[in-house]
Every structure is written in C-alpha cells, then in structure tokens.
Chain A
Amino acid sequence: MKPTTFLKTAALAVALAIPFASAVHADEQFFPLQSYRVGPYAAGGTGFFGGFIDYINLVNTRDGGINGVKLTYEEGETQYEVEKGVEVYERLKTKPNIATWTPLSVGIAYALIDRVTTDKVPLTTINHGRTDSTDGRVFPYIFPLLLNPYSETSGIVNYIATKSGGLEKLKGKKIVVLYHGSPYGKETIPIYELLAQKYGFTVQQIEVSHPGNEQQSQWLTIRRTKPDYVVLRGWGVMNPVALKTAQKTGFPADKIIGNVWSNSEEDVTPAGDAAKGYVAITTQASGVEYPVVQEITKVLYDQGKGNLDDKKRIGSVYHNLGIVNGILNVEAIRIAQEKFGKRTLTGDEVRWGFEHLQLSRERVKELGAEDLFHSIHVTWDNHEGNGYVKFQQWDGKKWTPVSDWIAPEWALLRPIIEKSSEAYAKEKGIKIRTEAEVDVINQSTAAQ
C-alpha cells in the first residue's frame, strides 16, 4: 500500500469509527445538541445553545452536576436543515446516557418524532414544535415546553384585543399574518383561521419564503390591504428585513406584533430605527438582572468559560431562553432522580421527569429565575405545561415590558389539539396512552 493511500485509509477508518468509540462513564447525563452556528439562523442558534450550554456548565461548576451526576454535551451542526439534523441524530444516538434531544427546528423535530419514540428518549421543542404533541396521551416523548404555537397565537390575539378594548372589539378588524415559509411558520395557519371565525376578525396569511431576505411584494400587498395589525411570525434574517421593508412601505412599527421567534435583540438591532415601537410576545424576559444570569456571568464569563463569543449578548432574549431551557431540562432530571435514585437516568426515566416537571413561582425564585419566566406545570397529558407570556416593546436600545404575565386560553385550545392528535393516533395506529402507563419505565434502546 502506498503511504498516501495508507494515510487516507487510516483517516477514513478513524473518521468513521468515532461515533462507536465512546467510553461509558458512570454518573453522567449526556445532552446531544443539534445546534446551528452558521447559516441564516445562526443568531438564534448561537444565542439559544449558548444559554443552554452555559447553564449546563453552571450546574457542573457550581453544584458538581445534578446530585453528583455530571452533565455532558456534544454539538452537531445542522444549519437548520432536516437531513443534517437526521445525520446528527443518527451519529449522536449511539452515545450512552442520553437525557434529551433539542433540535430547535420544527422540521427536524417532525423527522425525529418516530425515531425518538422508538428509541424512548424525550425530545423538547421549547416555545415551538408540533402543536398537537402537547397531547401526552399520543406523543409520550415529545415536549413543546412552555408555549406551543397555538397558545402563542391565542396570546397574541388576546393582546390585540386588549389594545383594541376587549375581545368583542376584534369584530371587523383586519389582521395580516406574515409567516416564515417553513414547517415552523405554517404551524399556526389553521388556528388563526379558527380564531378569526370565533372573534369575527378577518385574517390574511402571507408566506415569506425561506430565508426571507426579500419581502417587497409581501409588504406591497399589506399596504393595499391596510390591516389594523400585522403579526410577524418570522425567524432569523426575515425579521429585520420585515421591519425595514415595513418602514419603507410606510407601515407603522407599533402595529406590528412579533411572535415568540421574532422577539430578540438580533431581530431588531439590524433594523435600526425601523424597529422602534415594535412589540413582541415572549415567555422569558431579557436582561441580566436575574440571579441565575448574574451567576453565569460570575462563574463562567468572568473566568473566560462562557459559551457566547460576544459578552454583550449575555442576557439577550435567545441567551435567556437557552438558560430557561437549561433550567427545565436540569429540573426534569432532578425530579426524575427523586423517584429513580440519584444516578444516571435512562431516556424513559427522564421522560417521566418531564411529565412531572412542575415549577411553581416559588421554586422558580429559588432557582434564581424569578420573573425570568413565570412557571411551568407539565403533566402526563399536557406536555406544554401552561407557560405564561409577556409583551415587550423595543425602544431602540432595549426591550421594555408593556404587559404583565398573561395566560393564553388553554381551555379553548385543548379540544382543537386533542382532535388533531387523535386523528394522528388513528392514522398511525397509535394506542392512546392512559395515566396508568406513565409510571411504566421502558428500557431505552438508544444507547445499546
């Protein structure tokens, strides 16, 4: 064999052997992160995964893990593309002690539903995801934590109602929803139609194709329609472009309501003046004043161990969301450890933990996150956990809250969600789970 051929063969062998050469350590819990740090959604990816990793590192450094169980992670770049997400899933699922999957992409999450259900490891989609996966009776391993897309929609419509003087004043109003042309963006199309019928407003839904850096024609249509409000259901680069194009076509920023993925500093700062007065919904406040964010700054960033490259982004909306996601994951594991013992848990045991993830306002305060987010109450059949929302307005420099914590109308949405999940169960031949099955722990197949 020639030396070059030998080198090539050796390199190839090494490259392909890595996923299988993972040593088993006792008392570790592994987080495979399907992150994205390049591409049109890098701002969201770096902020969110930065916050998540920071919280994992904080728990390791400050507490030595969760009751002595160290947390580990590995990133795999997906660029928000489904096939890359699947590749990363297949690569990282061979690692032992997997706690949760966090793809932060609705498209990837959809492709993984069957896979994680077979492998019996939970998958969380905080503030996004497939809405009907809220129904834990049909989707035991999927958790659209804190705020599913329908709750978000209900929160936004209620906010517009408050601004207009009550739900009955919505009658005759005209709302345009400008949505991202992806599974994430399309998720709320039916619920807007439904709420429009219920409250008597008209809704026009306009798609912006991925990634959304050209929106002239959409905003010209909006100018012709003259709506009372535009809901911006954007993601990444689409958001600043929308705000700038709105300004160009003369649509006032304070009549644009951003959804939960159009609410970050990275969405408004590039738009400059065009974003002044823009209002957006959020589940977690931005800012560094919360004790947990302070601790992350002190324990990690001051020691040069923080994950964000730019320290100015500490406490930004995405970073704080990542921290909140970290809190929810860690607490789910802690709760499951109370039941199963203070050791490495299997995926199905972590699933049990998520299904009992109930953090009251007092507990949230103990965790140093009072008012960073409100509270969460996940149960075996409600995998969202009734998160509260807040509205914030951009003043050109920072987000200022313009509302108190608001509860979406869960009771109104639940039958719609159940109808959809039951249809899915029927189509796929899934037996609807009962409460008795929650405590049955199946062996995880993923790490074998």
Chain B
Amino acid sequence: MDTVTVRKAPGHWPWIAPLLVLATAYGVIPFIGTSYLFEAILTPFLALSLAGLGLNILTGYAGQLSLGSAAFLAVGAFGAFNFNLRVQGLPLIVSIVLAGISAALIGIVFGLPSLRLKGFYLAISTLAAQFFVQWALTKFGWFSNNSPSGVIDAPPLTIFGISFEGAVGRYLFALTIVTIFTLFAWRFVNTRTGHHFIAVRDNELAAKVIGIPVLRTKLLAFAISSFIIGVAGVLWAFAYLRTVETGGFNLDRSFQIVFIIIIGGLATIRGSFFGAALIVIFPLILSRLGQLFLGDIFNSGVLEMSQRIVLGALIILFLIVEPNGLVSLWDRLRKKPLRLSRIKTIN
C-alpha cells in the first residue's frame, strides 16, 4: 500500500489532541479512576468504539451498509475462546488475531452480496449474517465447548507473561488494542486503498471507469471492517463481560453500532468514539441523575422508561441540529467562540 498525503490537516490538531487524550488515558486515568469507571464505563466504551470504528470503515468510508456487526463481534468472541481452548499453548494475542481473521473471512462471505446489492438491499442481506451466526453458535454446542447453558467463561488475559487481570489491567489491555487499531485506521484511510474505498462510496461507476477494482475494494472493506469488529468482540467478551454468550450479540447490538457511527459521524475516526461515548455513557448519566432527583418519587421502572424517552428525544435533536454527527457539532462548538468574537469586532 503506498501512502498518499492528500491534505495537511489544519493547525496542530491532528497530533496534539490525540496525544493528549492518549497521555491522559495511559498516564492519569489508571491512577485516579475507580473500579466502576473502568469496569462499567471505560471498558465497554472502548469495545464499542472499536466496533464502531470497524463499521465506520465499511459504512462510512466504503459506503456499504451493514446490519450484521453483532455477528462479527460474536465470531470474534467465540473464535478467540475456541482458539485459546483448542490449541494448547497458543498465546492469547495469536488467538485474538486468528479470531479477527475468522471474522474477516466470514465478513468476506457475507460481503459477496454487496457486489450486486446496494443500500437498503445490502443492509437486509447482511441481516443474514446476523441471524446465521447466532443460529450456528447456538445450534452447535461445540462452539461453546458444550456448556449446558451456552455461557462460557473468558480465559484470563495474559500476554507475553504479563497478566492484565483486575479492573485497571483489563482497561489498559482494551486501551492498547483500541489505540493500535485506531492508529491503523487513521493511517489506512489516507492510503491509496483507503481512497479507493471513498471513491467506491461516492460514485461506483466513476470509480470503475478510472480503474479501481470495485469488487476487490468492497470485499477488502468487508474483510478489514469485520476483522476490527471481531477484535472488538474479543474485548467485549474477554475484557468487559468476561462471559461469552450468543444472547448479547443480537440484532439490538448491531443497531447500536450503526447508531454509534451515525450519531458520532460517518467517515470520521473520532466519530466512533463520540458515538460510543453517547451510547454508553449518556444513558448512565441520565439514569444516575434520574435516580438522584426522582428516585424517591418513582420506582426504577418508571425512571428507566422516562430515560428512554429523553434519550430518544435527544438523539433526534442531535441529528436535526447536526446531521453529520457529533464530530461536526464538536468542531463547530470549538470554532464558535472565534466566530462570536469576530461578530463582536464587526459590530
């Protein structure tokens, strides 16, 4: 893959901000966070961000709609579990890579319809992946090591002899993997192949005319996306829940990941993180505030229902205010003070 630099990003933004975030994530949070922050907020946030990143490459950059993300999460989780269980002495990191490759292969198979189908029709055909994978994992007990209830325990997280057990350890494990893939994705979308993705998304016919191998590009998009989502599945199951069960990888989860990238911002790397933050953290804050202010008056059921209404209304509001997702909203907010001062000087 040859790298092509398209544009120099403005100002110092592309390096400074991510570095600051990373420095805080590695250098500050592990020392001040509580186990609740790691186990209930950051780890699922990281796993879902990575899944969003994977889907964003497919949907945001390459323009292929998919409703099968949860299936690839499941393939990743069950794949890593089985490689780890069946092959004695296989390092966990290899199991994770192999799980990603399994997800990529299945992604390619279910990406084949994309050669003929577009838009909603493709989305519907990816539902097949969703249903097939869940069915197969439930039907064949081998995948869950014949566990009677279909729930399996995740193995301990140990890489190169370093144990990542404990709340902070699991968080750092997830953070490292997410960082690696984010760097990869960030570089990747600026390569020639990355531009092929965008070309296919924007105008398939034009892309074909200028000699982009559309077929290969689409399948590659499915493979890369599924690989990343598969790894996200490993994080979800091994670092967050620590049990693996098909029930958690249902259609709802697929929709959740689609919402993440739509709300966060399609075809942006940051968007997946913004979207995941909204989907994971926002309901928690709402529920906490509801419990604090109204907990004595209403029971938890009424509160839960009202939170859903509030959350739904806010999502609609976000999308009306900024159809391009939270990323654009964020960028606009950052520029706003400037604009205000400019108006003042004009006046």
Contacts and interface: CB of A to CB of B under 8 A. Distances in A.
A371 interface: no
B285 A90 contact: no
Given A18-B288, A83-B248, A210-B247, A190 B242 contact: no
A428 B153 contact: yes
Interface string A181-223: 1111011111000000000000000010010000000000000
Contacts of B158: none
A141 to B, nearest CB: 15
B284 interface: yes
Interface of B is mostly: helix
B249 to A, nearest CB: 11
B301 A42 contact: yes
Contacts of B305: 38
B30 interface: no
B303 A77 contact: yes
Interface string B281-293: 0001101110110
Interface in B240-289: 240-243, 245, 247-248, 250, 284-285, 287-289
Interface string A73-91: 0011101011100110011
B253 to A, nearest CB: 9
B36 A91 contact: yes
A343 to B, nearest CB: 26
Interface residues of B, number: 35
A183 B144 CA distance: 12
Nearest to B285: A15
Given A110-B243, A181-B138, A187-B149, A87 B284 contact: yes
Contacts of A269: none
A81 to B, nearest CB: 8
Contact of A77 (B44, B250, B304): B304
A220 to B, nearest CB: 19
A420 B145 CA distance: 13
B151 interface: yes
Interface in B204-230: none
Interface string A85-109: 0110011011000000000001100
B292 A86 contact: no
B148 A190 contact: yes
A75 B292 CA distance: 12
Given A20-B34, A75-B299, A77-B303, A183 B245 contact: yes
B31 to A, nearest CB: 16
A111 interface: yes
Given A75-B299, A181-B138, A186-B148, A11 B153 contact: no
A114 interface: yes
Contacts of A184: 149
Which of under 10, 10 to 19, 20 to 34, or 35 or more describes the interface residues of A?
A: 35 or more
Contacts of B138: 181, 207
B150 interface: yes
A276 interface: no
A82 B153 contact: no
A20 B33 CA distance: 11
Contact of A86 (B34, B37, B241): B241
A94 B304 contact: no
Nearest to A45: B301
A37 B300 contact: yes
Nearest to B307: A77
B300 A18 contact: no
A36 B302 CA distance: 11
Contacts of A94: 34-36
A111 B241 contact: yes
Contacts of A190: 148
A46 B247 CA distance: 23
A111 B243 contact: yes
A415 B151 CA distance: 22
Q: Which of A35, A42, A76, A83 counts the most B-chain CB atoms under 10 A from its CB?
A: A83
A183 B285 contact: no
Given A16-B285, A207-B138, A183 B36 contact: no
Q: Which 8 A-B pairs have the closest CB atoms?
A: A37-B301, A183-B149, A90-B40, A15-B288, A87-B40, A90-B39, A77-B300, A15-B285
